[in-house]
Chain A
């Protein structure tokens, strides 16, 4: 069964892609495309904050397209987490919060990780795969 989640991105506060991973066979991107999408999203997110008619807007949270949903979560530090998933997928916001939790645990508490740099932490990958696998059951249905 293909997961409903296509891919997961983490971008640092200056818009650089620091983590990217495909889940399932649909919607795979090559390295250039993933970098492009990440920086594009970063700028769009920043512009949306300025353009928003409501006060205290933190940027786009959900982008609904014909073929995918893009859900974004921005941490207080400016690090953005977003997933691309099948249209109409539920529970993506809580998935992102959980991903944030894992990031805080296995990336920030790792003495060998440099802040704002690409994430290469074995434990983070491992627990992320577990989380997505567990979530497949919940979101997938």
Chain B
């Protein structure tokens, strides 16, 4: 606390805003309907500006990326006392619980390590909040609006020094009419090398 900002300055105001802790979780909720309409408009807006589905996915991911960077700053300050995770498992559980709780009001349904590759991790959600009201038409193939959430996760990981490729996929579940959404995280090589050095 060497340089506490002067009272009444913009910096002081920013710091106050970041310091407010959500004591009552309910007061921090926003309307799901409002969000759903806004998100729907965002997808439609981007849809008019792309030529193919991969591009749309990329644009949604990019929109989420900025949110991820900001969420990282905010949550590190609010929840972690300005500490950042430096280990792989630490940052993964930060995404799975802290980030998910603050964005969606609950921890993610599951966090698993990929079975085929060492560098892959999966966060699965039975019903991703952004997909709650969305039915993707058949002609769009495997497109998943969860790309936005994948972008958020990528933002958080990139921001904390864990560059990764993050993608969202639908995975069918037996006995369920709806597939679940899996966020697939594939870390860069240097992350695993550093991790091996640290342990």
Q: Do A and B come from one complex?
A: yes
Write the residues of chain A forming the contact surface with B, with a CB cutoff of 8 angstroms.
105-106, 108-112, 120-124, 126
Instruction: Closest B residue to A124 by CB, please name it.
Output: B135
C-alpha spacing A121/B138, complex, angstroms: 10
**Assuming A106-B135, A124-B135, is B40 touching A111 (CB within 8 A)?**
yes
C-alpha spacing A112/B40, complex, angstroms: 8
The contact of A109 among B36, B47, B136, B140, by CB within 8 Å, is B36
Instruction: List chain A residues, Cβ under 8 A from B36.
Output: 109
B177 and A111 contact, CB distance less than 8 A: no
Instruction: List chain B residues, Cβ under 8 A from A112.
Output: 43, 134-137, 140
B1-34 toward A: CB 8 Å interface, digit per residue (1/0)? 0000000000000000000000000000000010
C-alpha spacing A124/B137, complex, angstroms: 12
**Assuming A111-B47, A111-B145, A112-B140, is B135 touching A123 (CB within 8 A)?**
yes
C-alpha spacing A109/B47, complex, angstroms: 15
A109 and B137 contact, CB distance less than 8 A: no
The B interface, classified by DSSP as helix, strand, loop or mixed, is helix
Instruction: List chain B residues, Cβ under 8 A from A124.
Output: 135
CB distance from B55 to the nearest CB of A (A): 15
C-alpha spacing A111/B134, complex, angstroms: 7
14 A-B residue pairings within 8 Å (CB atoms): A109-B36, A109-B40, A109-B134, A111-B39, A111-B42, A111-B43, A111-B145, A112-B43, A112-B134, A120-B137, A121-B135, A123-B135, A123-B178, A124-B135
Instruction: List chain B residues, Cβ under 8 A from A122.
Output: 135
C-alpha spacing A109/B145, complex, angstroms: 13
C-alpha spacing A121/B40, complex, angstroms: 14
B133 and A123 contact, CB distance less than 8 A: yes
CB distance from B64 to the nearest CB of A (A): 15
B140 and A106 contact, CB distance less than 8 A: no
C-alpha spacing A111/B136, complex, angstroms: 9
Instruction: List chain A residues, Cβ under 8 A from B109.
Output: none
Q: Is B37 an interface residue (CB 8 A)?
A: yes
Candidate in A109, A121, A122 with the most chain B CB atoms within 10 angstroms: A109
Q: Is B112 an interface residue (CB 8 A)?
A: no
The contact of A106 among B37, B133, B145, B177, by CB within 8 Å, is B133
C-alpha spacing A105/B42, complex, angstroms: 17
Q: Is B195 an interface residue (CB 8 A)?
A: no
C-alpha spacing A123/B36, complex, angstroms: 15
Q: Is B110 an interface residue (CB 8 A)?
A: no
C-alpha spacing A139/B178, complex, angstroms: 28
Instruction: List chain A residues, Cβ under 8 A from B79.
Output: none
C-alpha spacing A49/B36, complex, angstroms: 35
B44 and A111 contact, CB distance less than 8 A: yes
Instruction: List chain A residues, Cβ under 8 A from B189.
Output: none
Given contacts A106-B135, A109-B40, A112-B135, 4 further A-B contacts (CB under 8 A): A109-B134, A111-B145, A112-B136, A121-B135
Instruction: List chain B residues, Cβ under 8 A from A105.
Output: 133
Instruction: Closest B residue to A104 by CB, please name it.
Output: B33
Q: Is B190 an interface residue (CB 8 A)?
A: no
Instruction: List chain B residues, Cβ under 8 A from A111.
Output: 39-44, 47, 134, 145
